[in-house]
Structure 1
Amino acid sequence: MSHVCHLFVAVPSHCSDAVCEYLHALSRLGHGIKKMMIAQTSRPVSGPPARPTRVWSSIESTDWWERVVMREFQPSDWLEKFRMTKETFFLLCGKLKPRLSRQDTRLRPALPLEKRVAVALWRLASNVEYRTISALFGVGRSTVCKCVRDVCHAIVLLLRPLYLRPPSEQELEDAARLFSTRWGFPHCVGALASLHVPIIAPSSNTHSYWNSRGWLSVVTQGAVNGLGQFWDVCAGFPGSTEHSAILQNSTLWARGCDGFLLHEPPLDFMGRPLGFLMLGDAGYPLKSWLLKSFPESGALSDAQRVFNRRLERARSVADEAFLRLRARWQCLLKRNDCRMDVVPTMILACCVLHNVCEVHGDEFEERWEEAVRTEESPQPADEVSPAADDRDGEEVRALFCEYFLQQETQQRTLAC
């Protein structure tokens, strides 16, 4: 490092042994860049203060990975810094090996696959600057950038077909059963929601990236099952794009219109054959396979109010999934300064990683959500779709109004 200053680094009493040792070493080195790393390496944990630890007399930058992470990181450290368990991390590395493995050259040894994945996950989880990660892992800034790009591409290429794909016919039936029992909405197999990711100003067509909240973003559409896992994601649209336009330019729209959600033989609902369907917000068009709530601006009947309440309850699983996604992978929460051609792939990779963590049961820390609640760029509000509602969609929605009202009437009768 060319910029050197003499610092006193206060070591928090609540940090883990591995982190405390590293902070002691940083105080001896006195590199100015290490100031920014303290926030990334000190972590509040419950329990008594850590015992006094020995001080490393010297430390090479590569030691952070080779000695601290690989040898001394505790399970809580892996979860905090990489957002997954050590076991899931190495499972991920194994699945990415066909795409990311490199051979040593005569000039230099190849960067270990595990270290490349760790560099990328650190960036996705924290969104800290490349120079901070560069100093932390002892690699060049251009190497950090390449690791992030290569790992995200590999995740999308190799893991998306395994962890984020359209459900099979049996999986659709299972999803409908789950939405009915857990969320009280029969025939539903997925909920739609959107996410705006802050970006720096693109080099062209900047005006189309300003969203309704007045900040630059790219918007992503996601379909979520009853477990809060994504099964369809369409990423990278300019922030001003309407929800209906995103949907109509997605493969999900093509599948829906081509009968992907139909069931053979047709299922009976209120005396009428009905396939599977999805739930969306006010920004989506009403279809026989995509329902949305009634506008609150008008005078609603009891049946319509009940329908709105039941739909929003079931659709909340998608909002919760996007909340957990941003809390776990905070490159989607803070302004992303990557090139525009990388951002959509990064978003897709984070959605895949979300599913990986959920499928393998990796713990989600509720305190991560605090960063989402205090974000500087609140998500734009849902806007009413300009697309015309479908008559078949209105008929299906009316059936559900009748169904839910009957249910509530029966429940009130039993309560009396």
Structure 2
Amino acid sequence: MLSHQNRPSLLRNTMETTSTPFLNLEEYSSVYSFFQELETDHGEASVSKRRMLDEFDVENKSMNEFLEFFDEKNAPTSQTEIPSFDFETRASEMADWDHVRVRKARTPSPAASHGGETAADDGGGQRRRLWVKERSKGWWRYHNSDECPDNEFRKAFRMSKATFNMICDELDSVVMKKNTMLRMAIPVRQRVAVCIYRLATGDPLRTVSSLFGLGISTCHKLVLEVCAAIRTVLMPKYLQWPNQERLQEIKTTFGSISGIPDVIGSIYTTHISIIAPKTNQEAYYNRKHTERNQKPSYSTTVQGLVDPRGLFTDICIGYPGSMSDEQIFEKSALSRRSTLGMLENSWVVGNSGYSLKDWILVPYTQQNLTWGQHVFNQKVNELQMIAKDAFMRLKGRWGCLQKRTEVKLQELPMVLGACCVLHNICETYNEEMDEDLRFDLYDDSMELKDGRGISVNALQARDSIAHSLLHFNFNRGT
């Protein structure tokens, strides 16, 4: 029999290496409580427990087998006494509290009247009480039911039920978790919904927790897990560099829009506000945001190349906000593609934050433009607006990008990448965005201070295109 004096020595023994499978702290608590109650009980309860010991061959069984035997004897007689969702809620609370609060009592606690605990009959008249925090899942149950109209679902998740169902089916094998003896696993649809809702609204985790009936830290974990699954499963399908056939289609469409030949994409870079990092703050310091807000502001960047539909074909995420568009571009995969010769006979259209290169077209910036240069700038601006509108819809759909994010800097690229993939999915399936969600971009463009790296061939090519555009528009007008 274990007494109070024996507890320290038993815990010390668990640190030693032996052939006997010693108890962990939770197992020890259960066994100790059993014997302590056996020592203090009187009457039928004591006799019942001693009969349990008589039925079990202690010397020839392991402690794990004893615990299984003990749990079987104390199992509730009715499944309705401890609903499965209580185990789910309790597991999420474990993550919040970083430890399990389990107490056993014979008499009801005052907290029981406030819904703070769940009880189960142990078979001997005792009530085993597990302290949990009740949470309502009513909001999610309604939005996950047929009663919720599609327009209301779209308002919460920025997509239709059909698109949401497709995403769940795609991620099912990666996101799904198995049920355990302690709890029922959170369903895939609820896991994906937590992530998409958080990205769509940017609501605090406390709000997400109350809507979905899960712990705050559980919701944060689900957001990161689903974002990682989106990057692994959906990014290769919905955000990839076009093949040759697709590149030719893009060139034809851009050519019909602007009259500029061989354009494969319009490039733009936006800034995402972040909390001041603990190290290397000066690198993330955003001068424009600081001047507008009148307080120190910090940001990271998202560079994207879009096709005529506003779909991202290339993204570069995570460089500090103090870097210019040109500096970010030089470090991106798109620049490496040009070095490998993958962009020959092609143009990427950018704003004045980029320098003119053999494969990058930017507007004229000098004073007193000629008619040809003026027309060229108009056409370049039309193509730039396609990229800018795509980023407007990106930030409009995913409200988490509109405010200062609380995600850790090392995890932020994964979250931003997931937003870009979800943007492409919504654009691919023609998901309409409400006008009241439009988000005006500001403080993104950074003027290039010098013209280093401009080649003579690029200057001549741009002048030739400008001349052709002037005559093309003149002939079309006559």
- Is the pair's TM-score, using the shorter chain for normalization, greater than 0.5? yes
Point out where structure 2 has 5 or more consecutive residues left out of the alignment: 1-133, 291-296
1:261 aligns with 2:334: no
Alignment of 1:355-366 (within 5 A): 355-366=424-435
Residues 286 and 321 in structure 2, CA contact (< 8 A), matched pair in contact too: yes
Residues 305 and 312 in structure 2, CA contact (< 8 A), matched pair in contact too: yes
1:398 aligns with 2:463: yes
Partner amino acid, structure 2, of 1:286: L
Alignment of 1:88-107 (within 5 A): 88-107=163-182
Aligned equivalent of 1:249:
331
Residues 195 and 226 in structure 2, CA contact (< 8 A), matched pair in contact too: yes
Aligned mates of 2:383, 2:470 — CA distance in 1 = 16
Match of 2:355 among 285, 292, 308: 285
Deviations 1:341-361 (A, max 9, x none): 121111111110000011111
1:383 aligns with 2:465: no
Partner amino acid, structure 1, of 2:355: P
Aligned equivalent of 1:4:
none
Partner amino acid, structure 2, of 1:399: S
Residues 184 and 314 in structure 1, CA contact (< 8 A), matched pair in contact too: no
Aligned equivalent of 1:223:
305
Shift of 1:68: 4.5
Partner amino acid, structure 2, of 1:382: M
Aligned mates of 2:386, 2:259 — CA distance in 1 = 12
Aligned mates of 2:381, 2:392 — CA distance in 1 = 16
Shift of 1:193: 0.3
Residues 193 and 223 in structure 1, CA contact (< 8 A), matched pair in contact too: yes
Aligned equivalent of 2:185:
110
Residues 61 and 137 in structure 1, CA contact (< 8 A), matched pair in contact too: yes
Alignment of 1:72-91 (within 5 A): 72-91=147-166
Deviations 1:257-305 (A, max 9, x none): 222123xxxxxxxxxxxx121101111121111110111x422222111
Alignment of 1:11-30 (within 5 A): none
Shift of 1:168: 0.3
Partner amino acid, structure 2, of 1:332: L
Alignment of 1:97-246 (within 5 A): 97-213=172-288, 214=290, 215-246=297-328
Aligned equivalent of 1:407:
472
Partner secondary structure for residue 227 of structure 1: coil
Shift of 1:222: 0.2
Aligned mates of 1:220, 1:90 — CA distance in 2 = 28
Residues 285 and 390 in structure 1, CA contact (< 8 A), matched pair in contact too: no
Partner secondary structure for residue 195 of structure 2: helix
Shift of 1:207: 1.3
Task: Provide the identity percentage.
Answer: 34
Residues 78 and 86 in structure 1, CA contact (< 8 A), matched pair in contact too: yes
Shift of 1:154: 0.9
Match of 1:337 among 395, 406, 426: 406
Deviations 1:310-340 (A, max 9, x none): 1111221000000010000011111111111
Aligned equivalent of 1:269:
none
Shift of 1:60: 5.4
Residues 259 and 469 in structure 2, CA contact (< 8 A), matched pair in contact too: no
Residues 224 and 231 in structure 1, CA contact (< 8 A), matched pair in contact too: yes
Shift of 1:70: 2.4
Partner amino acid, structure 2, of 1:89: F
Aligned equivalent of 1:61:
136
Residues 185 and 314 in structure 1, CA contact (< 8 A), matched pair in contact too: no
Does 302-311 or 160-169 show the bigger shift?
A: 302-311
Partner secondary structure for residue 299 of structure 1: coil
Match of 2:346 among 256, 266, 276: 276
Question: Residue 156 and residue 287 in structure 1: after superposition, are their counterparts in 2 closer, same or farther (change >3 A)?
Answer: same
Partner secondary structure for residue 220 of structure 1: strand
Aligned equivalent of 1:311:
380
Does 90-99 or 79-88 show the bigger shift?
A: 90-99
Shift of 1:227: 0.7
Q: Which runs of 4+ in 1 moved over 3 A?
A: none
Aligned mates of 1:202, 1:165 — CA distance in 2 = 31
* Count, aligned residues: 337
Partner secondary structure for residue 172 of structure 1: helix
Partner amino acid, structure 1, of 2:216: R
Match of 1:327 among 387, 396, 399: 396
Shift of 1:362: 1.4
Partner secondary structure for residue 410 of structure 2: coil
Aligned equivalent of 2:417:
348
Residues 205 and 220 in structure 2, CA contact (< 8 A), matched pair in contact too: yes
Partner amino acid, structure 2, of 1:109: M
Q: TM-score, normalised to structure 2's length?
A: 0.68
Partner secondary structure for residue 404 of structure 1: helix
Does 400-409 or 80-89 show the bigger shift?
A: 400-409
Residues 143 and 153 in structure 2, CA contact (< 8 A), matched pair in contact too: no
Aligned mates of 1:201, 1:150 — CA distance in 2 = 25
Shift of 1:183: 3.5
Aligned mates of 2:253, 2:263 — CA distance in 1 = 9
